[in-house]
Amino acid sequence: MEHDTHTAPKPQLRSMLMIVLWPAFLMACAATGLFFSLVDPMELIILDHRLQMHEMGVYTVGFFAFWMLGILSSGLTALLVQKAH
């Protein structure tokens, strides 16, 4: 029985970025919508201090925080899949 020495080519950087960023973006959209439909941004208290930001600023920071968490999660998954091959 012959062993196939041909391995699948590694994805290019641009395609790998889209594999990580796109699902993270979609989940950030969903998480932001869900979170801020349940929590009033003007009622958020972080480290015993009420946020002193405009409502739109809180939405923006929340979206990017959820996006960073999604990027971390998707990036770790992509890394583990690459290591498994």
- With 60 as the cut, is the pLDDT of residue 11 above it? yes
Examine the pLDDT at 8 and tell me if it is beyond 80. Answer: no
**Is the overall model pTM greater than 0.85, yes or no?**
no
Mean pLDDT along residues 4-22: 77
pLDDT for 50: 81
- Residue 45 pairs with which residues in a beta bridge? 50
Q: Tell me what pLDDT residue 4 has.
A: 56
**pLDDT single digits (tens) 20-64:** 999 999 999 999 999 999 988 888 888 888 878 889 999 999 999
